[in-house]
Amino acid sequence: MSLKIPKVLTMDSFNFSSKYVLVRIDINSPIDPDSKVILDDARFREHARTIRELIGDEARTTLISHQGRPGDPDFTSLNGHADLLSSILGVDVKFIDDVCGPAAREAIRRLNPSEVLLLENVRFQSEELLERKPELQAKTYLVSKLTPLFNYFILDAFATAHRSQPSIVGFPITLTSCAGRVMEAEIEALRKIYGEMEGKVFILGGSKVRDSVKIMENLLVNNVADKILLTGLLALVFLYAKDVKLNSQVVEAIKEKGLMGEVSKARELLRKYSEYIRMPIDGAVEVEGGRVEGDLESLKGRIMDIGAKTINLYREEIKNAKTIVIRGPAGVIEKDEFRVGSEEIVKAAIESGAYIIFGGGHMRAVVDNITASFHGHMSTGGGALLTFLSGEPLPGLEALAASAQKYLKGIN
């Protein structure tokens, strides 16, 4: 398999003074479903570097982002995001509860140099949910209405670069475009990963089972992974596919989440690639507010973490790795007693001396709780990172590369 990192332009290529600049960021963050309070500001702080630079350059900056998906409890307005971003930047980030209608367009026109405006959740615009070719996305209402108002487009949303959506791939066709500082740092990390891809161990967990199964298939088919260690709900799906006798609550949860299709895919992957896949051999459940460990077939109730036997098994797999990619926690890290698996895996990875790539916001929370430094990279986007490493092109990167070629031909 050949990993090709396309050539893109960076912010260093342009003078943004007094120019109207549209920036696609990704401040999609964990949110309390009841209070709607944002629980993690990591992505806000990452994007602050790009935004501060534009403020310093006296650009007229408009930000566009999303939060959640329709129907999910975290699908909400970005009003609170503007307040949090204002406090981090130390400037007033204006907000308009409109995406590309007359109110949004007028607010953009009124921007003065060094002012910043955040538009409403771009996924309130239904066409943003469609994934299509960039040429079609460039003709959407969103892109056609906003394009005339801007001189430049900056894609800084690496975490969403694996989506071929209008706000990611449409604007690079209609506007001169470049990578923001977050995107630039992620691209540099990909270059380093490519140079160190030997002894590759992937540790996959978390709740995004559909994405993870697809990524696993690509990793295995393209011979990228030497070992894949499973945790979380993903592991339970594979254990069920292997006919391990899980308790009825776990089985019902798999069915209620509509994951039986993934069970079938997992069964096929196990049939072809079982020697590369490792699954938990024990777990932990909550009993009277405490942690109780046991073999998977004997545990009753919701399995909320991996157990000590699995931790030791995975530690052996990790210790000789050269490159380790960790995406998603091993357990319910919101509860201290079920952070054990995630923290022990991180410690084992650090102790191995391998180059470590952490993907996804939940892993940042685990790493931040461990004081040891590590050799590697904290990615803002686990899905995008693994999509690329599994051999698939990232539509966002490809769109930026196409824009760069068009721009460079125009000035030569």
Distance in angstroms (rounded) separating the CA atoms of residues 378 and 374: 10
Report H helices in 171-208. 171-174, 181-195
Instruction: Give the model confidence (pLDDT) of 117-148 as tens digits.
Output: 999 999 999 999 999 999 999 999 999 999 99
| DSSP-based helix, strand, coil % in the chain, nearest 5 | 45, 15, 35
What predicted TM-score, i.e. pTM, was given to this entire model?
0.80
Q: How confident is the model at residue 196 (pLDDT cuts 50, 70, 90)?
A: low
Does 412 score more than 60 pLDDT?
Answer: no
Average pLDDT, the chain: 92
Can you give the pLDDT at residue 3?
59
Q: What are the structural domains, with CATH classification, of the chain?
A: 11-182+393-411 (3.40.50.1260), 187-389 (3.40.50.1260)
Return the closest-CA partner of residue 331 out of 299, 270, 286, 267: 286
Return the closest-CA partner of residue 222 out of 5, 360, 6, 386: 386
* Count of residues making up the chain: 412
Contact indicator for 148, 370 with CB cutoff of 8 Å: no
Distance in angstroms (rounded) separating the CA atoms of residues 146 and 171: 9
Residue 365: both structure tokens together: 């929370």
Contact indicator for 397, 8 with CB cutoff of 8 Å: yes
Contact indicator for 357, 379 with CB cutoff of 8 Å: yes
Does 15 score more than 80 pLDDT?
Answer: yes
DSSP-based three-state secondary structure for 337 = helix
DSSP-based three-state secondary structure for 64 = strand
For the chain, percent of residues with pLDDT exceeding 70? 97
Contact indicator for 219, 193 with CB cutoff of 8 Å: no
Can you give the pLDDT at residue 1?
47
Q: Which residue(s) pair with 132 in the sheet?
A: none
DSSP-based three-state secondary structure for 10 = strand
Residue 21: both structure tokens together: 């600049």
Average pLDDT of the segment spanning 288-313: 94
Q: Which residue(s) pair with 185 in the sheet?
A: none
Distance in angstroms (rounded) separating the CA atoms of residues 347 and 355: 13
Contact indicator for 198, 163 with CB cutoff of 8 Å: no
DSSP structure class, residue 168: I
Q: How many Cβ atoms are within 10 Å of 33's Cβ, its own excluded?
A: 11
